Every structure is written in structure tokens, then in C-alpha cells.
Amino acid sequence: MLITTNRPVDTSPIELSAAAGTDLDRIWKSVIPETRARGNDIHLPISLAYAERLCAAHPEADALLVRVSILLHDTGWGRVDESRIISEGFSGDWRKAEIRFEHERQGCLIAEEVLPPLGYDADFVGRVCAIVDGHDTRPDAKSLEDALVRDADRLWRFCSTGIALASSWFALTPARYCDRLESEIVPEFKTEAAVAIAAADLVRSRALLKTEVLR
Ligand SMILES: [Fe+2]
Ligand SMILES: [Fe+2]
């Protein structure tokens, strides 16, 4: 059952609405080394932009919690053995690979390290960690904020930049990767807003990348 909204949903290209504000810049600066791993310097800012759209469609959500959680959720990749990311993280039952659990645990440790010195209290840090922990390996969302983070974490793959990066991780052609997005990722969305955004992005990305011809 999808979480619905009666607010308008912005389905225009994500390039038209980069993440707003500079209030998270101090967090970004604290995790620059961790953004160098596994395309995080592409994945995290784009996912934050999508998260802000989802928050606009869900004003009842704690937007700061969603924004900080999506910013930090994959920083743990920066503290795991880089060679294992591709060998274990993207093959076989990749969602259950030990390296996946490890990047979630490391992400929580990073949140506990960087947030308190920037003035975030223990309760807030605990709520961020509750979302970061299990974000890939747990099937269900524990709260609306958790659902919005999970959806933003998937939505970035639907823009052409996400397809370019993620299709190479999985050694798939862009066309095959688009098919996989539609069949495997769309059913995982928790919100109606994310489904609408993904559908609009996929139409645009398929046209741009000529996936009907380049098969
Ligand atoms: Fe992750
Ligand atoms: Fe992610």
C-alpha cells in the first residue's frame, strides 16, 4: 500500500531543482573523504534533491531528519574495503552481502561522529541512525521519514546521471538497466509521489538515451 499525498508532486527534471539551502554544508564538509567512494559525490547530492521534493509533497514529515539521513546514509562506503564493494556489493545476493551491513554500520558511526560537534542532539542523531541502519538490508520502512529516505535513495537512479553511473556498477547496458528499474525498483517505492517522479524520469531518460534502439 503506497503512502499517498494530496499535495502536488514536482516531476520535472531533477536538474531544475538542486537541493536548496546551505544549512547542511557543514555536514557535507565533514564527510568529503567519504563522498569520494562509490560515486557518493554524485549519488548523495542528487538523492538529497529528490528527498527535498518528496518532503515538499509530504509536509507532515520531519524534513531535517530526512535531509540529514539521506546525506549521510551511504557515507559508510567510504570506510569499507573498496575492492569488496564491486566484488561482493553488486553480485550474487548483493542486498544481503556482508559488505552491505558493514556500510550501514559505518554510516551510523559517521553520523555519531560528525553530527554532535555541529550541534545536533543525541535524540536527533539516534533518529538518523535508526534510518541509516538497515537502509539497504531491511525491507520495510519504520516511519514516514524512513520511507522518504528509502524512496530518494532509489529515485536518483532514474535520472540519466544515475543510469550512467549505476548501469556501469551492474555491468548492464542503459536499456537493460532501465528495464530493471521498472521491474525491480518501482515496486519497492513506498510513496505515490516517488512512483510519479520515477515514471516521469524514466520516460525522459529512455528517450534521451535512445534505449528503444540501443538494445
Ligand atoms: Fe546504501
Ligand atoms: Fe544509497
- Buried b or exposed e, range 103-113, using 16+ CB within 10 angstroms: bbbbbbebbee
pLDDT at 58: 98
Helices marked H in 58-191:
63-72, 82-89, 98-114, 122-132, 144-155, 160-169, 174-180
132-163: pLDDT as tens digits: 999 999 989 999 999 999 999 999 999 999 99
123 Rama class: left (phi>0) / alpha (psi -120 to 50) / beta: alpha
Task: Give residue 42 CA to ligand 2 midpoint distance, Å.
Answer: 10
Mean pLDDT of 71-85: 90
**Whole-structure pTM value:** 0.95
Task: Give residue 32 CA to ligand 2 midpoint distance, Å.
Answer: 16
Question: In the predicted model, what is the mean pLDDT of the chain?
Answer: 95
Closest ligand to 152 CA?
Answer: 2
Task: Give residue 74 CA to ligand 1 midpoint distance, Å.
Answer: 5
Reduce the DSSP state of residue 17 to 3 states and report it: coil
Between CA 174 and CA 130, with CA 153 as vertex, the angle to 5 degrees is: 155
d(CA 148, CA 51): 7
d(CA 102, CA 97): 9
Q: Other CB atoms closer than 10 Å to residue 199's CB: what's the count?
A: 14
Q: Is the pLDDT of residue 183 over 90?
A: yes
pLDDT at 83: 77
Residues around ion ligand 1, judged by CB within 5 A, are: 74, 136
187-208: pLDDT as tens digits: 999 999 999 999 999 999 999 9
d(CA 128, CA 207): 37
Mean pLDDT of 16-38: 96
pLDDT band at 89 (very low <50, low <70, confident <90, very high): low
Q: Is the pLDDT of residue 93 over 90?
A: no
Task: Give residue 105 CA to ligand 2 midpoint distance, Å.
Answer: 14
Q: Other CB atoms closer than 10 Å to residue 87's CB: what's the count?
A: 12
d(CA 99, CA 112): 20
pLDDT at 91: 66
Closest ligand to 100 CA?
Answer: 1
Task: Give residue 4 CA to ligand 2 midpoint distance, Å.
Answer: 23
Task: Give residue 55 CA to ligand 1 midpoint distance, Å.
Answer: 20
Task: Give residue 134 CA to ligand 1 midpoint distance, Å.
Answer: 8
pLDDT at 90: 67
pLDDT at 192: 98
Identify the CA nearest to 131 among candidates 113, 151, 116: 151
C-alpha distances in Å from residue 194, one per residue of 42, 56, 165:
19, 12, 20
Question: Which domains, and CATH codes, for the chain?
Answer: 24-208 (1.10.3210.10)
Task: Give residue 27 CA to ligand 1 midpoint distance, Å.
Answer: 18
Reduce the DSSP state of residue 135 to 3 states and report it: coil
Mean pLDDT of 69-91: 85
pLDDT band at 173 (very low <50, low <70, confident <90, very high): very high
pLDDT at 92: 67
49-67: pLDDT as tens digits: 999 999 999 999 999 999 9
